[in-house]
Amino acid sequence: MEDSDDDGILLSALKKKKGGNDGVEKPSGGGEVAENNVGKDAMVGAETVVDRVERNGKRVFEDAVDDDVPLLSLKKIRTGSSNAEPKKAAVVSNSVVKGTAQAKDVDDLPLSSLTKRKEPVLVKKKSLTLKRASVDGDLPPSSLAKKKSPGSPFKRAVSVNNDDDLPLSSLKKKRSSGLEQRKIVPLKNPSAPKKVIKIVKKLKPQSPLDRKDEPKIVSRKSNTPVKKKIVVRKAMPKPAGKANNHSLSKGKVSNSTAPSSVDIRKEEYVFVGGEEDGERRWWQENMDGNEQRWQNLSHHGVLFPPLYEPVRVPLIYNGEEIVLHPAAEEVAMFYAGKLTTDYVKKDVFNKNFFSDFKQTLRKNDRETFKRVKDFRKCNFSRMQEHLDAKKAEKKAIPAAERKKIREEEAERVKKYTVATVDGKEEKVGNFRIEPPALFLGRGEHPLMGKVKKRIWPEDITINIGPKDPVPECPIPGHKWGKVIHNKAVTWLAFWRDTITNGSKYVWLAADSKFKTVSDAAKFEKARKLHKHIEKIRKDYRRGWKSEDELVRQRSVALYLIDRLALRVGNEKGEDEADTVGCCSLRVEHLTFNDPDVVEFNFLGKDSIRYENSVKVERGAYLGLKKLARKKKSSDDIFNRLTTSSLNEYLRSLMEGLTAKVFRTYNASLTLDRLLRQEGQQQNVNEQLVFYNQQNKEVAILCNHQRSLPKKHDEQMGKLSVKHDETIEWLRELERAAKEMKAGRKDSADVTQWVHPKPELKSDMTEEQRSAERKRAAEAPREKVVKRMKADSVHLAIARVHARIDKMKSEMQTKEDLKTVALSTSKLNYLDPRISVAWCKKNEVPLEKVFSKSLYNKFAWAMEASQEFCF
């Protein structure tokens, strides 16, 4: 039983992934991209379930992935993208998938192999595992276990790992506090309101770790069994034999992993890490309920963009040149600068722009205002040319001078880049006030094209320590709108956006204490969810059948949030693009395909399309279908449910739990589990390809898309040509080898076709050079014949094979990632300790995975041991 419970949990996690994947893949297509994908999908889609099964039988891994969960659609999608994927990746996903997938499928699949692999690693912790299992178990395990059972094998393996990670062993050592941290986390919870705080306090007295949440839960019926968790914790604290290894804690020596890597970071790391083995690192400090986030705060205010300098380049109206009033010229220039974008093709954009433009004319230049009546007669080309010329001018600046300018600018701006919080110097994130511009909303934003006005000091509220000097207002003759001393907030300055009336803030940078503490707390909260997830799932499954419609709506919605990683979906106003999240889904966004497939198609945040067809659990399917019945296509599916009631309910399940925690949880858990799959990566490069593949799975889960890079097709074409030429060379080498073998010769003539080298001369201008390069690249290849010895031919063959493999892998990766954005999940959803642990375990230098800024942002996570388990 216990084991199975564990498995259940794990599996569920896996499922999510799959679901997510499905979702992602499809979505990747938003707009045009989407269509492309669709095409692929369609092909794949042709594949039937049966096909898949068969595949499973043969190629266990790849197909397995598809199978599981969700879906059909997924399969389709995947096929498209995943075909190319390396087996390793496939394997991982498969396992995952299976777990996720419904029991039947899972069982069928041959998970065993995976399991085996993992188990060895896990070894030690069985005991821990058991504990955890028991914990989960105490909840009503049975039912869930059954459903999920399919995944069990896989899960098992996973679970074992979990135990290991338990956080801890390694953590314990160094930071004895590690454990505490966790505990603390809840307290920290940034969002945690006063109420939370109170709760926390109550809990504190309790033991260490755990579960402060439980007390709260009490009200709910089932919770009794809290204790178990405690048990788990105990286990953790132990010793940590393991710990030793990697954790080299202190930064210095540290990363055994990153031997070759940069040393600079170590220094930074040390700095950031602060205290030695300390009890408490700065990033562990509570954000507890303290309303006071700081005592002293000093900074230099904000930097305003330069004023507009009129250039008297005319607007051409109806064929005639009109030199505009400077204010109008500035606005017209904004439009001219957008001429190459798709915005100018949108009526709303043009209408909004022209309306604001005329208003500016009316205020400043009555004559022109009367004259300029028709937008279609406006010609901004002279202005566009002016902007282009200016850009070219800037580009032409010699490197040395450019560098100098840069440095001078940096010097000028320097004082704005830092702030001091309670004696610690911190970087400021965005000290530049946004310059006036045309508002560029995403998707079909009703306000796109309107003029975002210039912000003046009077529009700014400065927040600063009561004893700290008020920054000088940088624009003579002006003064700050307001100066306040609000210790409950972390912003340095504030203004109101002139388009949306929304608030804009100046914050500290991502590596500041304010930001990192809450970031760490976010991940700890997500980890905490892992301990409650089983119960939560059980609860919402029960809710699908509830008599109470509100309960049904909430339960079905939560299922979608959990399995598909949907956002909660707050209500939106009239003046915003029509996008939705879970709670705001409308009937028109879903299509039901009996018996249990739901197609989703809607625009989410940033008007990114979410398009996915998902095989959902029976209860959820029936529940959803029922909710859609008798409603118009424009009606909300979850009409009785609000995001705040949903969150209120979640809070009753776990302290601090909100809908967005599920995204973090699923994303991180998915990466953690996927990275545990063993692949055959040999060198660091292959490891990184593997890592990126798993990162991609998460990005797909979260539907993180990017637009198709402009030159993608062109670049793929080039790679393809290169690839073909390399193959051609390989064939020639093989032919020569054969010839030598047949003739028992030790050398042979080989023919190679090479591109002529460009003849660049030192007196050529840039233009001439590029023309020459182009000529050379397009010139017919020249035939070169050379005599090669047998040895070198064989050597060359081996090398060419390797090169071809690498090319294939690169092309595949490029194609796979063409519309997937990895950065968003890495930055916001993936617990960095997962990556740190993986790097240490696989001896991959951390800086290969984290850019410098990410490294700094995640400094708090760098001492995680390789045993860390999310």
Partner DNA sequence: TTTCTTACTTAGAAATGAGGAT
Partner DNA sequence: ATCCTCATTTCTAAGTAAGAAA
Q: Which residues are catalytic?
A: 829
Which is nearer to DNA, 190 or 208 (by Cβ)? 190
Q: Rounded to an integer, what distance in angstroms lies between the CA atom of residue 647 and that of residue 624?
A: 20
Instruction: Name the residue nearer to DNA (CB basis): 126 or 769.
Output: 769
Q: How many residues bind DNA (CB under 7 A)?
A: 88
Q: Which lies closer to DNA via its Cβ, residue 52 or residue 696?
A: 696
Write out the DSSP string of 786-842.
EEEEHHHHHHHHHHHHHHHHHHHHHHHHHHHTTTB--HHHHHHTS-HHHHHHHHHHH
> Counting contacts by CB under 7 A, is residue 442 touching DNA?
yes
Closest distance of CB 647 from DNA, Å = 4
Radius of gyration of the chain (CA): 30
**Helix (H) / strand (E) containing 503:** strand 503-506
Other Cβ atoms within 10 Å of 672 Cβ, number: 26
**3-state DSSP assignment of residue 847:** helix
User: For DNA, which stretch binds (CB under 7 A), given 9-17, 64-72, 496-504, 546-554?
Assistant: 496-504
Q: Looking at 55, 174, 242, 515, which residue binds DNA (CB under 7 A)?
A: 515
Rounded distance between C-alpha atoms, residue 584 and residue 635, angstroms? 9
Of the residues 8, 70, 167, 441, which one makes contact with DNA according to CB under 7 A: 441
Tell me the closest approach of the beta carbon of residue 644 to DNA, in angstroms: 6
Is 293 a residue that touches DNA (CB under 7 A)? Answer: yes
Nearer to DNA, 167 or 604 (CB): 604
Shortest distance in whole angstroms from residue 664 CB to DNA: 6
Give the C-alpha separation, 476 to 460, whole Å: 15
Q: Determine, following the binding rule CB under 7 A, whether residue 781 of this chain makes contact with DNA.
A: no
The reply to whether 195 sits near DNA by the rule CB under 7 A is yes
| Per CB under 7 A, 609 contacts DNA | no
Question: How many residues in total does the chain contain?
Answer: 870
452 sits near DNA (criterion: CB under 7 A): yes
Q: Residue 137 and residue 401: Cα distance in Å, rounded? A: 68
Nearest approach, Cβ of 585 to DNA (angstroms)?
Answer: 11
Nearer to DNA, 327 or 577 (CB): 577
Shortest CB 521 distance to DNA, Å: 9
Residue 579 as a binder of DNA (CB under 7 A): the answer is yes
Kindly identify the residues of this chain, within the stretch 791-830, that bind DNA according to CB under 7 A: 814, 821, 823-825, 828-829
Task: Give the number of other Cβ atoms within 10 Å of residue 639's Cβ.
Answer: 14
DSSP 537-606: HHHHHHHTT-SSHHHHHHHHHHHHHHHH---------TTS-----STT-BGGGEEEETTTEEEEEEE-GG
- Count other C-beta atoms under 10 Å from residue 742's C-beta: 8
CB of 445 to DNA, least distance (A): 5
Which 826-865 residues touch DNA, going by CB under 7 A? Answer: 828-829, 851-854
Neighbour-count burial for 398-407, b at 16+ CB within 10 Å, e otherwise = eeeeeeeeee
Show contacts with DNA in window 518-557 (CB under 7 A): 518-519, 522
The answer to whether residue 577 forms part of the interface with DNA (CB under 7 A) is: yes
d(CA 123, CA 550): 46
Binders of DNA in range 661-680 (CB under 7 A): 661, 663-664
| Binding-site string for DNA from residue 358 to residue 397, where x marks contact by CB under 7 A and - marks none | ----------------------------------------
The phi, psi pair for 4, rounded to 5°, reads: -60, -40
Considering only the stretches 198-206, 266-274, 275-283, 573-581, report the one whose residues sit in contact with DNA under the rule CB under 7 A.
573-581
Q: Rule CB under 7 A: say whether 454 interacts with DNA.
A: no
Residue 355: which residues within 8 A CB-CB, separation 6 or more? 450
CB of 202 to DNA, least distance (A): 17
112 contributes a contact to DNA by CB under 7 A: no
Interacting residues with DNA between 334 and 363 (CB under 7 A): 341
Q: How far apart are CA 770 and CA 490, in angstroms?
A: 51
Helix (H) or strand (E) holding 155, with range, is helix 152-165
Per-residue x/- mask for DNA, residues 738 to 777, rule CB under 7 A? ----------------------------x--xx--x----
Q: Which of 386, 605, 625, 735 binds DNA (CB under 7 A)?
A: 605
301 conformational bin, left if phi > 0, alpha if psi -120 to 50, beta if neither: left
